[in-house]
Structure 1
Amino acid sequence: MSEPNSIQSVLQQLAEAERQRAEPQLSSRQRRARTVSRLAAVQALYQMELAGEGVETVITEFSNFRFDADIEGAPLAEADEAYFAEVVRGVIESQREIDAAITARLASNWRLERVDATLRALLRCGAWELLKHPDTPREVVIDEYVELAKAFFDDAEARFVNAALDGVARDRVAINGAARDATA
């Protein structure tokens, strides 16, 4: 079993990967801000679950206090605060749909509640982006959350995130294709 990578090293890996497959409509600075926003969103969802805090309370806390700090050398001040808030609110607003999409990709004897809270937050953020933010290429979303998983877990969990989010993306494409065929 390998050791999780530091958040700083994961952000460096993501920066290198983004040079190879960039969100075309964003500058490199905007892409970096999205990456940091994704990390913050995962942390916010984790905090909400463990502390039982509401979405607006956590968003306000991050805006007032957390975005001025560093996490293991990764400056949260680089985050796109609006995108962070959009992800966190979006996950909460669409949680039933997101959880159903993720659950469809779990082994038949697993429930989402059995998945580690951090892993659940990663999956929910990634699934939200795949389902509700189709202008972001699916490869970007999956790669970003897999790399973030590596900051918290070993390779097995990162592969799980990859497989689950890839499945959610394929399911979305299949559903959208079927809907287009039905209206044709």
Structure 2
Amino acid sequence: MVEPKKPFMRKPPPKTGDKKPGDRKANRRGAARLAAVQALYQMDIGGAGIDDTFAEFESHWIGNEVEGDQYLPAEAAFFRDIVSGVVRDQTKLDPLIDEALAKGWPLARIDAIIRAVMRAGAYELEHRKDIPARVVVSEYVDVAHAFVEKDETGMVNAVLDQIARQFRADEFTK
């Protein structure tokens, strides 16, 4: 399992009078995105199957304390949608990402965690029209920040922005 370099999924300290941390839908979706990227990475590197990956993440990681860190609860259906959608559509998503990458940088050459981020983002841009494209791009850039340095997050931003404009051009003409 790739650990985020920042405490992305950890609960912030509670504020007096606030709802419990992680209660907001956006927090649960952000946690689901991060968990989905970690699951896709694990499947890519370790060859784990989707059912085993779902079972592991839902029982041991999402919303649990792991090695002293408390992870935010994630929207399970959203997590499953992203992971299963990427697995199902990977043969369509990879050429889209390849085309958006700079010449000479095929997807196979990109670090596995960044491949997972871009695949999840591309899937969401194509299939989750209920979420604005700019939000999707921003969320996956944030996920990438949890694992890599700024240069690579810039690449994630550029690739997902190009894919967003391809799938949702109308959102960028307003």
TM-score relative to the length of structure 2: 0.81
- For 1:54-93, what aligned pairs fall within 5 Å after superposition? 54-67=49-62, 68-70=64-66, 73=69, 75-76=71-72, 78-93=73-88
Check whether the contact 1:33–1:80 (CA below 8 A) recurs between aligned residues.
Answer: yes
For 1:138-177, what aligned pairs fall within 5 Å after superposition?
Answer: 138-173=133-168
Q: What are the within-5 Å matches in structure 2 for residues 39-50 of structure 1?
A: 39-50=34-45
User: In structure 1, what is the Cα distance between the partners aligned to 2:24 and 2:167?
Assistant: 29
Q: Which has the higher helix share?
A: 1
CA contact (8 A) 1:8 1:72 kept: no
Query: What is the CA-CA distance between 1:9 and the residue it aligns to?
Result: 8.9
Aligned-pair identity in percent equals 39
SS of 2:123's equivalent in the other structure is helix
What residue in structure 1 maps to residue 16 of structure 2?
none
Show structure 1 runs of 5+ residues with no match.
13-27, 177-184
1:39-88 C-alpha deviation (Å, 9 max, x unpaired): 00000001101111111110111112222234884514x11111101110
Higher relative contact order structure (alpha carbons within 8 Å, sequence separation ≥ 6) = 1
Separation of aligned partners in 1, 2:149 and 2:109: 18
Change (3 A) 1:149 1:105: same
Q: Is the 8 A contact 2:61 2:71 kept in 1?
A: no
- 2:71 partner amino acid: P
Where do 1:8-157 residues align within 5 Å? 8=8, 29-67=24-62, 68-70=64-66, 73=69, 75-76=71-72, 78-157=73-152
Name stretches of at least 5 consecutive residues in structure 2 with no aligned partner.
13-22
Q: Secondary structure at the match of 1:108?
A: coil
> Residue 57 of structure 2 aligns to which amino acid in structure 1?
F
Q: Residue 15 of structure 1 corresponds to which residue in structure 2? A: none
Is the Cα–Cα contact under 8 Å of residues 31 and 74 in structure 2 kept in the other structure?
yes
CA distance in 1, matches of 2:121, 2:168: 15
Q: 1:71 to 1:104 in 2, by over 3 A?
A: farther
